[in-house]
A and B are shown apart, each in its own frame.
Chain A
Amino acid sequence: MTEASLTSASDDSRHSTSRLTVKDLLSSAEALRPTLGEHFRDELVNSLYREAESIARRAVRQKDDHHYDLDQKIDRLVTSPIFGLPLMLLLLAAVFWVTIVGANIPSQMLANALFSLEEQGVAAFNWLGLPWWITGFLWNGVFRGLAWVVSVMLPPMAIFFPIFTILEDLGYLPRVAFNLDFLFKKAGAHGKQSLSMAMGFGCNAAGVISTRVIDSPRERLIAILTNNFVPCNGRFPTLIMLATVFVAAAFPPALASFAAAGSVVLVVMIGAFFTLAVSWALSRTILKGEASAFTLELPPYRVPNIGRILYTSLIDRTFFVLMRAVMTAAPAGAVIWVLGNLSVNGMSLAAHIANFLNPLGVLIGLDGVILLAYIIAIPANEIVVPTMLMVYMGAGMMTESPDHNFLYHLLVGQHGWTLLTAVNLMLFSLLHNPCATTILTIYKETNSKKWAIMSVVITLGLAFLITFLTASLARLAGWVS
Chain B
Amino acid sequence: MEWVTFVEVLLVVFTVSVIFFSGRGVIVQMRRWRATSERQRIEDALKLLLDYQWQQRPISARMLAADLRLSDTAGLRLVNIMQRQGLLETRGSDLQLTTEGQRAALQMMRAHRLLERYLATEARMPLTKVHREAHRLEHTLSPAEVDRLEADLGYPRRDPHGDPIPGPAGEMPSMQASALTAWELNKPAKIVHLEDEPPLAYAQILAEGLRLGQEIRILEITPQRYVLTDGDNEYRLAPAVAANVFVEALPEPSAAANGLVPLKALAHRQKAEIVALDDACQGFTRRRFLDLGLTPGTVIFPELLNSFGDPRAYRVRGTLIALRDEQASQIWVRPLNAQ
Binding site for B on A (CB under 8 A): 33-34, 36-38, 40-42, 45-46, 49, 72, 75-76, 79-81, 84-85, 178-179, 181-182, 185, 191, 215-216, 218, 288-300
Other-chain contact of A178, B124, B156, B313 (Cβ < 8 Å)? B313
B284–A293 contact, CB under 8 A? yes
Given the complex of chains A and B, what is the CA–CA distance between A296 and B312 in angstroms? Answer: 10
A182–B308 contact, CB under 8 A? yes
Q: What string of 1s and 0s marks CB contacts (under 8 Å) between B15-58 and chain A?
A: 00000000000000000000000000000000000000000000
Given the complex of chains A and B, what is the CA–CA distance between A37 and B154 in angstroms? Answer: 8
**A36 / chain B contacts, CB cutoff of 8 Å:** 154-155
Other-chain contact of B304, A38, A288, A298 (Cβ < 8 Å)? A298
B304–A79 contact, CB under 8 A? yes
Given the complex of chains A and B, what is the CA–CA distance between A191 and B313 in angstroms? Answer: 13
A41–B327 contact, CB under 8 A? no
Given the complex of chains A and B, what is the CA–CA distance between A289 and B124 in angstroms? Answer: 8
Q: Is B293 an interface residue (CB 8 A)?
A: yes
Show 12 residue pairs from A and B whose CB-CB distance is below 8 angstroms, ordered by the A residue.
Answer: A34-B155, A34-B167, A36-B155, A41-B286, A45-B295, A75-B304, A79-B306, A79-B307, A81-B307, A293-B124, A293-B327, A300-B320
Given the complex of chains A and B, what is the CA–CA distance between A18 and B286 in angstroms? Answer: 42
Q: Is B11 an interface residue (CB 8 A)?
A: no
Given the complex of chains A and B, what is the CA–CA distance between A26 and B124 in angstroms? Answer: 32
Other-chain contact of B311, A216, A218, A296 (Cβ < 8 Å)? A296
B324–A294 contact, CB under 8 A? yes
Asked if A289 meets B321 with Cβ closer than 8 Å, knowing A38-B156, A79-B304, the reply is: no
B307–A72 contact, CB under 8 A? no
Asked if A181 meets B304 with Cβ closer than 8 Å, knowing A38-B155, A46-B295, A298-B313, the reply is: no
Q: What string of 1s and 0s marks CB contacts (under 8 Å) between B117-132 and chain A?
A: 0000000111001000
**A49 / chain B contacts, CB cutoff of 8 Å:** 293, 295, 298
**A85 / chain B contacts, CB cutoff of 8 Å:** 307
A294–B308 contact, CB under 8 A? no
A41–B290 contact, CB under 8 A? yes
Asked if A295 meets B310 with Cβ closer than 8 Å, knowing A33-B155, A36-B155, A75-B304, the reply is: no
Binding site for A on B (CB under 8 A): 124-126, 129, 151, 154-157, 167, 277, 282, 284-293, 295-298, 303-308, 310-311, 313, 319-324, 326-327
**B324 / chain A contacts, CB cutoff of 8 Å:** 181, 185, 291, 294
A181–B327 contact, CB under 8 A? no
**A291 / chain B contacts, CB cutoff of 8 Å:** 324, 326
A72–B310 contact, CB under 8 A? no
Given the complex of chains A and B, what is the CA–CA distance between A407 and B59 in angstroms? Answer: 83
Given the complex of chains A and B, what is the CA–CA distance between A398 and B16 in angstroms? Answer: 54
B293–A182 contact, CB under 8 A? no
Given the complex of chains A and B, what is the CA–CA distance between A46 and B326 in angstroms? Answer: 23
Minimum-distance CB pairs A-B, first 10: A81-B307, A298-B320, A292-B124, A45-B290, A182-B308, A296-B322, A293-B285, A294-B324, A34-B155, A46-B295
**B326 / chain A contacts, CB cutoff of 8 Å:** 291, 294
Given the complex of chains A and B, what is the CA–CA distance between A332 and B208 in angstroms? Answer: 60
What 7 additional pairs, Cβ within 8 angstroms, besides A216-B124, A292-B285, A298-B320? A41-B154, A178-B304, A216-B284, A289-B124, A291-B324, A293-B285, A294-B311
**B313 / chain A contacts, CB cutoff of 8 Å:** 75, 178, 298
Nearest neighbor of B281 in chain A, beta-carbon distance: A293
Other-chain contact of A295, B124, B167, B295, B322 (Cβ < 8 Å)? B322
**B126 / chain A contacts, CB cutoff of 8 Å:** 289-290
B288–A297 contact, CB under 8 A? no
A295–B293 contact, CB under 8 A? no
Min distance, Cβ A43 to any Cβ of chain B, angstroms: 10
**B288 / chain A contacts, CB cutoff of 8 Å:** 215, 293, 295
Min distance, Cβ A322 to any Cβ of chain B, angstroms: 35
Min distance, Cβ A207 to any Cβ of chain B, angstroms: 22
B306–A178 contact, CB under 8 A? yes
